[in-house]
Structures are given as structure tokens and as C-alpha cells.
Structure 1
Amino acid sequence: MTLKKHLIVSFLLFSILISCKASDEENVHQKIEHQTNEIFDSLVKIRRDFHEYPELAGNEKRTSKIVAEYLSNLGLEVKTGFAGHGVIGILRGGKEGKNIAWRADMDALPNDMLDGVPYKSKIEGVQHGCGHDVHMAIGLGIAEVLAKNKESIKGTLYFIFQPEEETFVGAKNIVDNSLFSEMNLDEIYALHVTALPVGQIMVKPNELYAYQKRIKMKFNNKFSKEDAEILYKEIRNKTMRKKDGSSPWEIPKAFDSEIGLVNPNTIFKDYLFMEENFMIDSDDESLDIQAYLYETNQSNLQNILPKIEEIIENSIYKDKFISVSYIQENPTVLNDEKLTNNAVNTLTKIYGENAIVMDYGQIPYFNDDFYYYQKEISGVYFLLGGSNAEKGITAMNHAPNFRVDEECIRIAVKSFSSLILERSNSK
């Protein structure tokens, strides 16, 4: 064989190998999509069961039992009874590789808001008004799909079903547990369903939510409630930072296609505001003003209290002023930049340019204790759309008549099963 012919044959063989590899990658994700469709109805059924029987933070006994049994029936190794009612399903792949986790939260909210679905809560005063029932169905679906593709997975996958997210202690309790360090995780992922269009997946590197601080301003007993109303309004106006004419405290606008998070010029970027409503707590000795504030820029946090103190000291109420302090400072979700970009590129490559959209702002009011995982390991937290205007469904968390188009379960299971499989095979 001449050198020219040898080179031609070698090139053709190389092209065939590359084509076969690309075909295999395409086939595995087609298989994931097919498997997701097969289990979709069963995932909707279990989601509705969770919705009918919600359990408050620290009381997720029934929920965790169902989750553990489901994971066990998939052939996963299951750990229970840690960090409260925590459950972990362990899926060991066919080859050595990374340790990757998926987190789903389990607890419900203490409320009786309007819930216009036939499978509404049967537990008085408790309701899945934030979407954790959807999160669990998605987590179980991802576990089931990936269990069916075990031989294609390198390393070990951990499915963490976490209690007590709403009280902001569940993730910290898990991280502080010895079992967490034994997992030796390389990466962790999670999502939250919200009022984006159904199935839309949104993400951004770094801070996803605004920094939320609860502040207390203390005055002596000569300071009246009328004084508090006047002074608080002045403080709010003088500390506020926002785009002209915008109102970033109006949370529904965050999901607007023109001024919301998907717009690079969104009004939910670079702001500071204190909530319009505040609380007054008084006794014979003093009167306190308490309120939440929301700031997008971490470097500005250290300047807020001195600024408030300066405003008070320059007011007619300075002689009645005692102190100002933060009384609650939860950390905020902080997505690893490199891992976020990898996730975006992976999902786009598999499912196309519309598979994921970028978030250009930070949402006020909401938060998640997922940060405690991210503090220890690289992690990415996504937003998942659950609203469907045509069906009259609005997935506005913690709001009356919170509803979810369950089609988002299908899209999330398919997308994130593919993502995790690809991440397990990455270097």
C-alpha cells in the first residue's frame, strides 16, 4: 500500500471512530429522553402524593420513608436516619471516577393558602407552597434514569434528600454530619422550581439571589411609633439604590421577558432596598424597628450599617437612638463560575441553544441553604420554570394558589440526567 493510500485509509478509519463516538453520545441521551418519558406518569403520581401529605421541617418522617423505599427499589444503597430525616441514595457506576451529588429538599410550608388542585393538601396548616414536592419527584426521576444507565457512569452518584430547608438548617446539619465527609464529593447540583415559563432552565455564575439581612434599630422609650414611621421612610429612601423608575421589590417582574432576569439590562441588577413594611417591637424600656434589606453587591454590605447610623445621627431623633445591628444574616447561593459555564455548555451541546437561559440579575426575598454545600465543594443551583400562562398556572413560590405545570418534571429529569452523566465522564 502506498503512503498516500495508507493515509487515506487511516483518515477514513479515524473519521468512522469519531462518528461512532458522536453517535454513541447521541444515542445515550436519546435513551435518557425515552426513559424519562416512560417514567413520567409515575413521577407525577408520586409528586401528587407528596403534595397531599406535606410535612413541616423536622417532621419529614413519611416523606423520607417513601423516598428511601423508592431509591432502594432502584437498587441503590440507601442511608437514612442522619441529620434528622435525611436520606441518601448511592449509585456506584461501572468505572472509577468522580463523586457527584444531586440535592432535593423535602419539607413543606406552614400555611393554608388557596390551593386550587384536586390533590390539595390533606394536612391542615401545612402545604407544599414552594415546590419541594416537585423537587423530590425530579430527584427520584434522575436517580431512576441514571440507575438504568449505570454502566455508562464513572464514579459514584449521591442523591441527597434533605430535610429542613425552609428553616435554613438542613443543609448545614448534613454538611456537619460525618457521612458527608465520607462521600468526598467533587461536585453538587440542585434546582428550584419557580415562576419562569414551564421547563425553562435558568442559571448564572456567582450570586443567584440578593444578600438578605434582617436589621434592628433600637431607640429609647421616648421614641414613638409615629416617629418610627417617619424615620424608617427616610432611611429607606436615603439608602435605596436602583435603576431609575424601577421597583426590584416587585418580585413578579423578575420573570418578565422584557425587564426580568433574562434581560442583560434587568432591573434586578445592582440594587439595595429595605422592604416597605417593617415591624415595631416595644416595651417600657425601648422601641425597636426591624426590617429586611436586600443588597446585590457583597462589598457594599459593610457600609450599610454605618450609613443608617449616619442618617439617624443627622436626624431630629439622634438623642433617642441607641444602636443598629444585623440580627439575621443568612448566606446566599453562590454558584461556582467554572462549573456553571461547564453545565451551560453541556446542556446546550446536548439539547440545543434553547436548553438553558442565562440569568443576569439577583432575586430578592428568596434564598436557599444550598450555600452550605457550596461552601465545602463546587456546586451549581438552577432555576426551573413551572408557570404556564395558557393553562393559567403561576408557580410563584410562597404565594396563594401556587401551582406547577408538571411538564417541568419531564424536562428537568431528562436534562439533568444527561448533565450528571456527562459530568461523571468528564476529567
Structure 2
Amino acid sequence: MQVILLALLLLFSSQHTLLNAQQKQTTPLTHTFIQSETDKITDKLVMLRRGFHEKPELAGKEKLTRETIIQYLTGLGLEVKTDLYGHSVVGVLHGGKKGKKIAWRADMDALPTDFPDEVDFRSTIKGVQHGCGHDIHMTIALGIAEVLAKNKKELPGTVYFIFQPEEETFKGAKNMIVKGLFDDIKPDEIYGLHVTALPVGEIMVKPGEMFAYQKRIRILLKNELSKEEAKALTKKIHSTLSRSTAGSRPWEIQNIRDPKTGLTNPNTTFKDYLIMDESFTTYTKNDSLFLEAYLYETNAANLPGIIPTVKQVIIAGNNKDQLLDVSFIQENPTIINDKKLTAAAITTLQNIYGKNAVAADYGQVPFFNDDFAYFQQKIPGVYFFLGGSNAAKGINALNHSPGFKVDEDCIKTGVKSFASLLFERLKKK
């Protein structure tokens, strides 16, 4: 593996001279050019992805990952910023023409897991794996940067490639902002993606919420209930709050790609629901009983009513005298795609790559979330799903699950599609 990494770093360092020669050419920067250049570098990008996969690093420890990214961006001739927060990297591609300023974000960290990693380039770090696809995200971002940099004289505006650490702990995006990311760079728009268990190469997006709102609720009671009474109370809370369409099972996330119940069906299972942990985490401390559970609600308007409803259930169950407090102890923001930008992105991709270039999304995914939401709070942005599954090859890209694998053909789709999207968005006033 060290030999492979050394070879890649030597290759990256030689790119600058090659790109300078290419940038003197007068070939127009078109979508045909983008597709052709993507084809040329796909094999190299696959090797790059496998290097990331073999050397995964946990949140806050992305040191080698960072160095690889810096080497690659430097080889492309981009301005590179590394002094903002943690192991973050920002590559700045200055186009040769006037245009907008747009950011593309890729997350860097891996997961603490010992799930089977059944590929030839499996993780060499015990207990750490890219089991969520961030190795794919970084590779696509670097591929987009390379394709656009190959003829930057024809590129309007500026592209910021934000490589963000600590996504899995939901800290990286927020801390980058706190440390002045958007004081240093001022993009007009921001984009990002997540590979997931859709058919390989399928792009899916929708305006508004891509995920359900995730909350962790804590019920604090006097420690006067027996185990049986506490269990009965949590069961009553669960049954009172839970909501889904009759016959639907939105907790079965493996069905997000099912044509009858999945996200692409207007009658999808994955809309208009509240699901929550059936088994609460229960513990005692300082003569108090703590009951905790995660819940996932698709409708923001319903969120303020959850805590009052829980209190009503407790009171109705004759536990008013034991009730001390009910609160959310975790309530991360969720991805909310800008409606105008999402519509424009869909139209742009379909105009370039056909009506089937983007799949409709009619639902909200439970259990997952992404701190890209913090960027969207500051700048209008769009977050896409990119399919990485291939049933014919036995590849299932269901994130955070045993046997997670990605069909690397999605890298090519991601690079060409989103390089084209950024190019078109840069030209818009």
C-alpha cells in the first residue's frame, strides 16, 4: 500500500506541469470536454479511492487523508488553504473568466467499525473503515477539481472545494464556520452529495428536507417506578407518538430503492411518519430515572408538539408526581435543499444528460443526517444522493451496515455530472 501511495503522490506532483501545458490550449470548456476528460482520469480516480479506503481515519484524525488531498490539489495548480480548522482543506480554483463563486463539499472521516470489508483493498486499520462512502465523496470532489482545472482559462468564476473533517461526529461543518470559513471565502451557492443504496450512478434530489428530523428525547423521573412500570410507560409513549401510513414500514431503510415503496414512488413509505426507538435507553442517577430514545419526524410543524404530548402521556398514566422534566438532548439540524437551486440543478442536469439524469425523490430518509446542514444555514445549497449499489454484482451501498460496498462506476457519474452542473452554475448571474 505504501508503494501505491508513493506512486500516487508522484503522479499528483507531476500533474501541475501537465495541466499548465493543457491550460494553454484553446479547447472550449464544454460538456463533451468534461465527459471526455472524466473518462481519461477514471482509472486513476479508482486507484485514489482505494488508497483512501485502505487507510481510513476517524473524525479528528484525518492526517494522512489531508496530506493526500493537499498533494492532489497542489498538483492541479489550485490555491490550497489548510489553516482553518482541524484537518480541513480548502482548494480554490480560480477561473479565467468572470463568474459566480460556488462551493463543493466533501467529507473526509471514516467510521469506527469492524464490519466485514470484503474487497481486495480492504481497510488496513483495525476497527476503522470507510463504511459510509466518504472515500467516494473525496474522490469525486478531486475528480471534479481536475476536470475543471484542465481548462481553467475557459472557466468562469471561482470554485471552492471544501474537504471537511469530522462529519460523523457532526462537528466539522459547524466548527469550520465558527473558525471563519465564510469570512475567508464567500460562495454564492454550495453543493454536496452522499453515496447510498440506490442503483449505481442514479442521482436523486428534492427540494426541502432530504432526511427526517432526528431528535433524542430524555424523560427525567423520580426513581420510584419499577422496571415493569418504566417499560409500560415507554411502550405507551412509543405507541402514542409513532405515526406512519397504514401498512407502511418506514423503519425498513433497506427498501429506499424499492420501486413500490421506495423514494422514487409518489406513494413512498418514506413520507409522513414519526418513528422512534421501541426500546428506550434506561438508567438511574442521583435518585432519578432517565428514559432516552431517538425519534425521526418528517414534518417540522409537528416537532413543537412532541414534548407536550409526552408529558400528557406521563400525566395520564398517573405518573405526574414522578415527572421532573422532558427535553430534547440532541436535535441536530437536517438537510433542507434550497427550492430554487434544486429546481435549477435538476433542469441543468436533465438538459445536459437527459430526462433520466435525475430521479425524483418523494420521501425523507430516516436514521441518517449530515452536518452539511450547517453550511446550508449560511448559504443556499443542494445535497444530492448518488447511487452506489449494483444488485447484479452483489453490491449494496447501504451506509453504516455490514457488507457495505460501492460500485466504483458511480465515481465517473459523479465527476462528469457535477462538473457539468458547477460549470453551468458558474455562468449564471
Match of 2:35 among 33, 36, 47: 33
Say whether the 8 Å CA contact 1:187–1:378 is kept in structure 2: yes
Tell me the residue number matched to 2:106: 104
Give 2:303's aligned amino acid. Answer: L
Give 1:208's aligned amino acid. Answer: M
Of 288-297 and 151-160, deviating more is 151-160
Aligned residue runs from structure 1 range 293-304, under 5 A? 293-304=295-306
Q: Quote the offset at 1:322 in angstroms.
A: 2.0
**Counterpart-to-counterpart distance in 2, 1:221 and 1:182:** 51
In structure 2, relative to structure 1, the CA distance for the partners of 1:179 and 1:317 (3 Å cut) is closer
Q: Deviations over 1:290-326 (max 9, x none)?
A: 0001111111100000001101100143332222111
Match of 2:370 among 360, 368, 371: 368
Say whether the 8 Å CA contact 1:74–1:147 is kept in structure 2: yes
**Counterpart-to-counterpart distance in 2, 1:189 and 1:284:** 47
Aligned residue runs from structure 1 range 12-411, under 5 A? 28-283=30-285, 285-411=287-413
**Counterpart-to-counterpart distance in 2, 1:413 and 1:185:** 20
Say whether the 8 Å CA contact 1:202–1:357 is kept in structure 2: yes
**Counterpart-to-counterpart distance in 2, 1:388 and 1:363:** 20
Q: Deviations over 1:210-252 (max 9, x none)?
A: 0000001112121122222211111111111210011111111
**Counterpart-to-counterpart distance in 2, 1:343 and 1:221:** 54
TM-score (norm 1): 0.92
Of 366-375 and 216-225, deviating more is 216-225
**RMSD between superposed Cα atoms in Å:** 1.5
**Counterpart-to-counterpart distance in 2, 1:395 and 1:25:** 37
Q: Deviations over 1:88-110 (max 9, x none)?
A: 11111111221101000000011
Of 250-259 and 56-65, deviating more is 250-259
Q: Quote the offset at 1:265 in angstroms.
A: 1.1
Of 285-294 and 268-277, deviating more is 268-277
Say whether the 8 Å CA contact 2:271–2:364 is kept in structure 1: yes
SS of corresponding position for 1:399: coil
Number of aligned residues: 404
SS of corresponding position for 1:365: coil
Say whether the 8 Å CA contact 1:152–1:421 is kept in structure 2: no
SS of corresponding position for 1:292: strand
SS of corresponding position for 1:394: coil
Q: Quote the offset at 1:284 in angstroms.
A: 5.2
Q: Deviations over 1:382-401 (max 9, x none)?
A: 00000000000000000011
SS of corresponding position for 2:129: coil
**Counterpart-to-counterpart distance in 1, 2:28 and 2:257:** 33
**Counterpart-to-counterpart distance in 1, 2:104 and 2:295:** 31
**Counterpart-to-counterpart distance in 2, 1:154 and 1:28:** 12
Say whether the 8 Å CA contact 2:29–2:151 is kept in structure 1: no
Higher gyration radius (CA): 1
SS of corresponding position for 2:163: strand
Give 1:148's aligned amino acid. Answer: K
Q: Quote the offset at 1:70 in angstroms.
A: 0.1
Give 2:314's aligned amino acid. Answer: I
Q: Deviations over 1:366-390 (max 9, x none)?
A: 0000011111111000000000000
Say whether the 8 Å CA contact 2:49–2:136 is kept in structure 1: yes
Tell me the residue number matched to 1:415: 417
Of 310-319 and 89-98, deviating more is 310-319
Q: Quote the offset at 1:25 in angstroms.
A: 12
Q: Deviations over 1:319-375 (max 9, x none)?
A: 322221110110000100000000000000000011001111111100000011111
Q: Quote the offset at 1:184 in angstroms.
A: 1.1
Unaligned runs of 5+ in 2: 1-25
SS of corresponding position for 1:249: coil
Say whether the 8 Å CA contact 1:249–1:275 is kept in structure 2: no
In structure 2, relative to structure 1, the CA distance for the partners of 1:365 and 1:26 (3 Å cut) is farther
Give 1:71's aligned amino acid. Answer: L
Q: Quote the offset at 1:157 in angstroms.
A: 0.6
SS of corresponding position for 1:255: coil
Q: Deviations over 1:92-141 (max 9, x none)?
A: 11112211010000000111111111111111111110000000000000
Say whether the 8 Å CA contact 1:193–1:386 is kept in structure 2: yes
Counting aligned pairs with the same residue, the percent is: 58
